Structure formats: C-alpha cells, structure tokens
C-alpha cells in the first residue's frame, strides 16, 4: 500500500458561548483536518488542534508544517509502517505536538480500516464505552448552578468544575453543587491557579463534597509544589499541563508528584505516544484519564478510541466538541447519559 495524495483543510471553529479558565478566555479554535489517500482506496483522517498554551503551537505553525514538511514527506510512503513514519517525521518538525498527532491519527485510521475494525479494536479493544465528564468554566455561582442543572437534565453524571481564580468562590461552588446534586460525581480543575496553601485549604474545606480528583493545582514548572500537595491532601492529584511528553511522565511519576495523569492526544503528539505515557503511568501505579482540548468530533473520536483500548485509562473528559457551532463531523460516536460509544465503523468511524 502507498500513499498517493495528501491534503488538508483548515477549520475555524466558533464556540456558542466563550468559556473562562484560570489563565484565559476562549471563544474560538482552529483545527486542521488531514486527508491521506492510498492506492487501495482506503482514506485516513487526522485532526490537529493547535493551542499555544497546551501544545506550544499556533495555527500558523501547523499550517507551515503541513505545507513544508508533512505533505511532501508522506506521499509515496507505506502507511502501514506508521511507527517508522512517525519516528522519521518527528525530528523534521519544528513543532511536534498536534501536528504529529494529526499524522498519527490518519495513519492508524488507515491501518484499522485495512483490518476493517474500529480503531479501538485495532489497538486492543479493552472496553466498548466510557463515561465522560462535562465541564463548567469559571462563571458566577448562579450560572454554575444553572449549567449543572442543565447538564444533569441531559443525563450527565460527572461534572468537572474549573477554578483557580478565587479559592473562596471555588469552595462555595463545590459545596453548593454537592448540596444540590448529592449523587453527582464531581471533579475539580485548578488550571494552575493555586499555591500549595490554597490547594490544601480548598481540599480541606470541600471534604464533605467528596471530590473525585484535583487536577493541575499549580503552575507548570512547579513540580515540587504539586508533589507537596499530593502528599498533603487525601484526594488524588492529577497532572495535566505539567505532562506534555513521555519524559515528563517518567520524571513526575519517578518523583511521586501526582496520583493520576491526564493524557491528551493533541498535547502529547498522538495515540502512539499516549500509549507509552499510559504504560509509564501503569508501571508507577497511576491511573489515567483521557482528556481533550478544543477539538472537533474527529479529534475527540481519537481520544475515545484510545481510552477504550487501554485498561489503565479509567476516566474520560471528552467534551471539547460540544459547544462548537460549525463542527462538520457527525455520527462518529454517541453520548447517552454521559456514556460515549463509537459508531462501530472501521477506523475512527469516518467513511469517505
């Protein structure tokens, strides 16, 4: 099999409503869709979602990588040699996160379609579905409660609350959510907004809310502070922005800096790299969550298939597509009462 043609499309996606986290307000996102055609009529698709804060790339970086490196490099290659292709391509790219993830997805999509199985089965087929959380950004207490009620009415059983700007307001929101929704699973993401003292205060004063986890309480680069919080609080601490590479996973796990890892396909450079990170986490006794950034449904589908193939990836936060007005991808998976299930078609589920 050979790659005969490689093209891409830029998607400028708009959110129905902007959302705020501790370090920014987001109203739009750019995604790139890679289309890889072969001489066997099998077509693979990948998605890149550059985010300067998360992936260290912007849209122009990825577009330049596509035009100058990725498109000319891929043509004529055998896509089934995806591991070799990814290893050779990586040092050629000045930006390697979402740009590489996009190629990784497309090649794995082709390989799974060649076997005529969904990608999660090609990768191992451990689970058939997974429950996802849905996120509430930093809004007023009143708006937090309104959004929570709406999400619960839609059937979601897990809510992730964003915070990190005011520990007092974060505590109040968590306690009110627990009071109003006693059976809801609650997660909290500090998005790098806390000091050690604030994180400990937050956990102590929300003890009755029985939070499932505390995500990335401290700034990137403050590994020791995150590790101190991990030792001081009774709930699991999860690394997100601090974990962008396989080396990060090894360093953080080796030094006991966290209890959990948040693996994002776009952030770490693809499904293959995500599998290595998950293995490091498993070896260190750390559970994993599959996360996402502002990705269209095609990108979200890659995270879903990865999670379903891994016994150690027990948690999902795959809601990054829900608020886009103009996402062109439909039907790749379903969400019923917060449970995500792929459509059962080969590869990522997109058949051209």
99 close to 57: Cβ distance less than 8 angstroms? yes
- The catalytically annotated residue of 162, 173, 244, 267 is 162
The confidence band for 95, taking pLDDT boundaries of 50, 70 and 90, is confident
pLDDT value of residue 289: 98
155 close to 337: Cβ distance less than 8 angstroms? yes
Whether the per-residue pLDDT at 18 is higher than 90: the answer is: no
C-alpha distance from residue 102 to each of 45, 223, 265 (Å): 8, 29, 9
Question: If phi over 0 gives left and psi between -120 and 50 gives alpha, with beta otherwise, what is residue 329?
Answer: beta
Element at 123 (helix H, strand E): helix 119-123
| Average pLDDT value over all residues in the chain | 96
97 close to 48: Cβ distance less than 8 angstroms? no
213 close to 234: Cβ distance less than 8 angstroms? no
Return all residues near 16 (Cβ < 8 A) that are at least 6 apart.
323, 324, 325
pLDDT by residue (tens digit) across 163-208?
999 999 999 999 999 999 999 999 999 999 999 999 999 999 999 9
Whether the per-residue pLDDT at 24 is higher than 90: the answer is: no
310 close to 321: Cβ distance less than 8 angstroms? no
pLDDT value of residue 23: 67
Active site residue 2: no
Active site residue 114: no
Rg (CA), the chain: 20
Reference 268, options 301, 305, 240, 309; nearest CA is: 240
pLDDT value of residue 296: 97
Q: Cα(129)–Cα(305) distance, rounded to whole angstroms?
A: 9
C-alpha distance from residue 313 to each of 15, 127, 184, 301 (Å): 28, 10, 21, 15
296 close to 268: Cβ distance less than 8 angstroms? no
**CATH tag, 120-342:** 3.20.20.120
Element at 200 (helix H, strand E): helix 196-205
Q: Is 215 annotated as a binding residue?
A: yes
pLDDT, average across residues 221-246: 96
Q: What is the dihedral of CA 49, 313, 119, 79, to 10 degrees?
A: 60
Give the other-Cβ count within 10 Å of 90's Cβ. Answer: 15
pTM, full prediction: 0.95
C-alpha distance from residue 93 to each of 11, 135, 257, 305 (Å): 21, 33, 30, 26
pLDDT, average across residues 328-349: 97
pLDDT by residue (tens digit) across 141-161?
999 999 999 999 999 999 999
pLDDT value of residue 22: 64
Residues above pLDDT 90, as percent of the chain? 93
The confidence band for 284, taking pLDDT boundaries of 50, 70 and 90, is very high
Q: Is 189 annotated as a binding residue?
A: yes
Domain assignments of the chain as residue spans, ordered by start: 3-115, 120-342
The confidence band for 21, taking pLDDT boundaries of 50, 70 and 90, is confident
267 close to 293: Cβ distance less than 8 angstroms? yes
- Antiparallel, parallel or unpaired: β 260-264 and 287-291: parallel
Reference 255, options 286, 295, 211, 234; nearest CA is: 286
Q: Cα(144)–Cα(242) distance, rounded to whole angstroms?
A: 27
313 close to 286: Cβ distance less than 8 angstroms? no
**CATH tag, 3-115:** 3.30.390.10
Q: Cα(274)–Cα(264) distance, rounded to whole angstroms?
A: 7
pLDDT value of residue 106: 98
Q: With H, G, I as helix, E, B as strand and everything else as coil, classify residue 262.
A: strand
Q: Cα(47)–Cα(70) distance, rounded to whole angstroms?
A: 13
């Amino acid at each position: 099999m050979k790659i005969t043609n490689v093209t891409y499309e830029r998607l400028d996606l708009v959110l129905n409503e902007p959302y705020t986290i501790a370090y920014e307000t987001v109203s739009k996102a750019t995604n790139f869709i890679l289309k890889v055609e072969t001489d066997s009529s099998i077509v693979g698709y990948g998605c890149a979602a550059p985010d300067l804060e998360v992936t260290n790339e912007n849209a122009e970086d990825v577009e330049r990588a596509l035009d100058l490196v990725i498109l000319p490099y891929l043509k004529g290659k055998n896509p089934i040699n995806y591991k070799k292709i990814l290893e050779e391509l990586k040092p050629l790219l000045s930006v390697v996160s979402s740009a590489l993830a996009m190629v990784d997805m497309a090649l794995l999509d082709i390989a799974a379609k060649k076997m005529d199985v969904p990608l999660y089965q090609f990768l191992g087929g451990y689970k058939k579905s997974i429950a996802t959380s849905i996120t509430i950004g930093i809004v007023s207490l009143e708006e937090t409660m309104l959004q929570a009620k709406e999400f619960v009415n839609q059937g979601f059983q897990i809510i992730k609350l964003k915070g990190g700007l005011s520990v007092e307001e974060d505590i109040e929101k968590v306690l009110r959510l627990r009071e109003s929704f006693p059976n809801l699973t609650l997660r909290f993401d500090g998005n790098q907004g806390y000091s050690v003292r604030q994180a400990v205060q937050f956990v102590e004063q929300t003890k009755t809310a029985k939070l499932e986890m505390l995500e990335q309480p401290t700034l990137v680069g403050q590994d020791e502070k995150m590790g101190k919080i991990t030792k001081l609080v009774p709930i699991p601490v999860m690394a997100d922005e601090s974990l962008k590479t396989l080396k990060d996973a090894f360093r953080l796990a080796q030094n006991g800096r966290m209890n959990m890892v948040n693996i994002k396909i776009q952030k770490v450079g693809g499904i293959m790299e995500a599998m290595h990170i998950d293995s490091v986490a498993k070896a260190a006794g750390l559970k994993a969550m599959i996360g996402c950034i502002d990705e269209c449904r095609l990108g979200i589908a890659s995270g879903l298939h990865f999670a379903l193939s891994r016994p150690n990836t027990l948690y999902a936060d795959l809601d990054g597509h829900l608020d886009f007005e103009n996402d062109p991808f439909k039907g790749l998976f379903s969400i019923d009462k917060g449970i995500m299930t792929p459509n059962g078609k080969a590869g990522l589920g997109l058949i051209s």
